[in-house]
Amino acid sequence: MSLLIIAQHRDVKLFKSAIEAVDPDIDVEIWPNVKSPKRVQFAVAWRHPKNVFSQYPNVKVISSLGAGVDHLIQDETIPEHVKITRIVTPALSDQMCDFVLTTCLNLFRKTEIYLEQQKAGKWKVHQAYKKDELTIGVLGLGKLGQEAAKRLMMNGFSVAGWSRTKKMIDGAETFAEDELTGFLNRTNVLVNLLPLTNKTEGILDLGLFKQLKQPAFLVNAARGEHLVEEDLVYALDTGLISHAVLDVFSEEPLPESHPFWGREKITITPHIASVTDPHEAAELLVENYKRTLSGMNLLYEVDRKAGY
Ligand code: NDP
Ligand code: OXD
C-alpha cells in the first residue's frame, strides 16, 4: 500500500520527508512518477490535474493539503465512494488568526493611507478608528472563523459572526444562515472565512456590500470565487467599500494584467493568510492513512454533499 502526494506549486519533497519522519515504513509516492499506481490507497492533493485520480483505481481517501476542499469537491471525476478529508491543525488556525488580527489593526489604524502618503512624501495625520466604533463581522464560524473571532475579541474588537447553524461564542453577536441581513447591517469590516460551495460562490456581491454598515471594509481570506470582482470595483469606486484586503483570487497567481494590482484601495497578498505546515500536517496525514488502512473513522472527514 502507498500514500501518494499530488501537489502543484508546493514543496512536495518537504511533505514526503515530514511523513517519512513520522513513520519511515510508509511508502510515499510523488506524482507524476508513481511506481505502482494500483498500490495507492491514500492520496494528498493540492491543485491536482482533473481526472488524475482515474489512474489510481484503489484510492479510498483523498486528503486536501489545506483546510479548503473545494478543489476536490468540484472534481466530478472523483468516484462517490472516495472519502475526502482536510487539514485542521493549531498552526493553520493560529496563522489565520494572526492574519485577520493584523489586517484589522491596519484597517483601524489606516495604515493603507500612510503607505500611499509615504510614496508621495506626504505628512498628514488621520484619526484612527476606535475599537468600539466599528464592528468586525466574520462570515463563517468554523475551525478558522471561530478562532479568528475569539482572537479579535481578546484584542478588544467588537465582533459579530455568521454561520449556517447558529453558534454560541462568548462576547460575540452571532447569526444563523437566515439572519444574514441582520449580520450585515451590524458589520463594518467584513472578514470572509467561508468554504467555497454552491451556496457561497459569488456571495460577496453588490447586493451584500450595500447592506454593510458605513464605513465598510472587506477582507477576503477564503476563496477568490466568493467575490464578484466587478462588483467590488464598483463598490470601491462609489465609496460603498472604503478598502479591500484580498488574499485569494479566482485565478492564482493573480495575472500581471489584472486591474486589482493598480488600485490604491485594494491590498493584495499572495494566498499566505495561513499556509499548511508540513511537519504538523504529516502527523494528521499519517493518522488518517492508518485509519484508512484499518477502516476506522477518519479525522476531519468532509460532508461531500454539503461541500465542506
Ligand atoms: P469550516 O468547514 O470549519 O467552517 C466553515 C464555516 O462556514 C462553518 O461555520 C459553516 O457553518 C459556515 N458555512 C458553510 N456554508 C455556509 C452557508 N451556506 N451559509 C452560512 N454559513 C456557512 O472551514 P474552516 O474554518 O476550516 O475554513 C474556511 C475556509 O478558509 C476554507 O474552506 C478555505 O477556503 C479558507 N482558507 C484559506 C486560507 C488562506 O490562506 N487564505 C487557509 C486556510 C483556509 P456551520 O458551522 O453551521 O457548518
Ligand atoms: C487552505 C488554503 O485551504 O491554503 O488551506 O487556502
Question: pLDDT for 142-180, tens place per residue?
Answer: 999 999 999 999 999 999 999 999 999 999 999 999 999
Backbone angles phi, psi at 91, to 5 degrees: -65, -35
pLDDT for res 44: 98
For residues 45-71, give the mean pLDDT: 97
The response to whether residue 66 sits with its C-beta less than 6 Å from ligand 2 reads yes
- Residue with CA nearest ligand 1 atom 8: 142
Residue 68's region, left for phi above 0, alpha for psi from -120 to 50, else beta, is beta
Q: How far does the centroid of ligand 1 lie from the alpha carbon of residue 119, in Å?
A: 37
**Residue corresponding to grid cell 484619526:** 127
- Could you tell me the three cell numbers for 269? 497578498
Question: Angle, to 10 degrees, between the axis of helix 143-154 and the axis of helix 90-108?
Answer: 50
Give the model's pLDDT for residue 141: 98
> In the predicted model, what is the mean pLDDT of residues 21-33?
97
**Atom number in ligand 1 closest to CA 66:** 43
- Give the pLDDT confidence score for residue 8 in this predicted structure: 87
Contacts of 225 (CB under 8 A, 6+ apart): 70, 196, 201, 202, 250
Residue 165 CA: nearest ligand 1 atom is: 47
Mean pLDDT for the chain overall: 97
Closest-lying ligand to the alpha carbon of 165? Answer: 1
223 noted as active-site residue: yes
Q: Are 104 and 133 in contact (CB under 8 A)?
A: no
Does the CB atom of residue 11 touch ligand 1 within 6 A? Answer: no
Sign of CA dihedral 53, 75, 165, 183: positive
Overall average pLDDT of the 104-120 stretch: 98
224 lines ligand 1 (CB under 6 A): no
Active site (annotated) includes residue 39: no
The residue-averaged pLDDT of 262-267 equals: 97
Ligand nearest to the CA of 180: 1
Residue 274 pLDDT > 90, yes or no?
yes
Condensed to tens digits (0 to 9), the pLDDT of residues 216-245 reads: 999 999 999 999 999 999 999 999 999 999
Task: Please indicate whether residue 68, judged by its CB atom, sits closer than 6 Å to ligand 2.
Answer: yes
Q: Read off the pLDDT of each residue in 16-31 and give the average, rounded to a whole number.
A: 98
Query: 308 CB less than 6 Å from ligand 1?
Result: yes
Domains and CATH numbers, the chain: 2-89+276-294 (3.40.50.720), 90-268 (3.40.50.720)
pLDDT for 307 beyond 90: yes
Residue 163 CB less than 6 A away from ligand 1: yes
Burial profile 225-239: b = 16 or more Cβ within 10 angstroms, e = fewer: bbbbbebbbebbeee
Tell me how far the alpha carbon of residue 20 lies from the centroid of ligand 1, in angstroms: 30
Q: Would you place residue 113 in the very low, low, confident or very high pLDDT band (cuts 50, 70, 90)?
A: very high
Span 64-80, average pLDDT? 97
Count Cβ atoms below 10 Å from residue 124 Cβ, excluding itself.
8
pLDDT at 9 over 90: no
Percent above pLDDT 70 for the chain: 100
C-alpha cell belonging to residue 225: 470565487
The closest residue, in CA terms, to atom 2 on ligand 2 is 66
Distance CA 46, CA 66 (A): 8
Burial of 14-40, coded b for 16+ CB within 10 Å and e otherwise, reads ebbebbbeebeebebbebeebeebeeb
7 touches ligand 2 (CB under 6 Å): no
Q: How are the residues of the chain apportioned to helix, strand and coil, as percentages rounded to the nearest 5? A: 35, 20, 45
Q: How many residues make up the chain in this entry? A: 308
CA atoms within 13 A on the CB side of 131: 10
Which of 15, 46, 276 has the most ligand 2 atoms within 8 A of CB, as the residue to mutate? 276
